């Protein structure tokens, strides 16, 4: 897809892992005139009126035009006009991210990974594993690498 036609999703819970995924997407995936869709999934326990209003479909998309300047930290030396949208869902992150991929629809999604071991993944589950197995678009998982390497 050419720039302007793509909707690049980034799963954002505002952890250092999702921030690293956003930075990676900006440096490696986003092109001029792309739409960057930030997906945030809140737990069911939230009791505000917004949850009841948007429980099934997620919040309305809030739009923001952004100019991404990559001259300082990226090997690419250009500016890009990106439309940034934020969409909030309530419920299970695995299911809601896959729902967003289908409903928006996304061209691809970038996610962070906490780097859980095999045993932790069995007990806690892995959102990124589930999305990789279930998503209907390409999934890029930005692994949790030790900062000192």
Asked if residue 149 belongs to a domain, the reply is: no
* CA 107 distance to own-chain centroid: 12
pLDDT at 77: 47
Host domain of residue 76: 7-142
Positions of the chain with pLDDT lower than 50, given as ranges: 1, 62, 71-72, 75, 77, 148-149
Whose CA is closest to 68, among 60, 59, 58, 78? 78
pLDDT at 71: 47
Average pLDDT along the chain: 78
pLDDT at 5: 79
pLDDT at 144: 76
Structural domain total, the chain? 1
**121-149: pLDDT as tens digits:** 555 568 888 999 999 999 999 987 765 44
What is the rounded CA–CA span in Å between residue 127 and residue 43?
14
pTM: 0.74
Asked if residue 17 belongs to a domain, the reply is: yes
Asked if residue 1 belongs to a domain, the reply is: no
- For 125, other C-beta atoms within 10 Å of its C-beta total 13
Asked if 113 and 144 count as a contact pair (C-beta separation under 8 A), the reply is: yes
Asked if residue 64 belongs to a domain, the reply is: yes
We report the CATH number of the domain holding residue 26 as 3.40.50.620
Question: What is each CA distance from 99 to 14, 18, 23, 41, 128, in whole angstroms?
Answer: 20, 19, 24, 11, 14
């Amino acid at each position: 897809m050419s720039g302007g036609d793509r909707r690049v999703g980034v799963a954002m819970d505002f952890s250092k892992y999702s921030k690293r995924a956003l930075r990676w997407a900006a440096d490696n995936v986003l092109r001029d005139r792309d739409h960057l869709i930030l997906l945030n999934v809140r737990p069911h326990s939230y009791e505000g009126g917004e949850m009841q209003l948007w429980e099934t479909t997620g919040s309305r998309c809030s739009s923001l035009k952004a100019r991404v300047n990559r001259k300082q930290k990226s090997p690419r030396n250009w500016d890009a006009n990106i439309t940034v949208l934020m969409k909030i869902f309530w419920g299970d992150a695995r299911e809601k991210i896959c729902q967003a991929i289908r409903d928006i629809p996304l061209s691809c999604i970038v996610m962070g990974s906490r780097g859980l071991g095999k045993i932790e993944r069995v007990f806690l589950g892995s959102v990124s594993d589930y999305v990789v197995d279930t998503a209907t678009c390409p999934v890029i998982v930005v692994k949790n690498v030790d900062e000192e390497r």
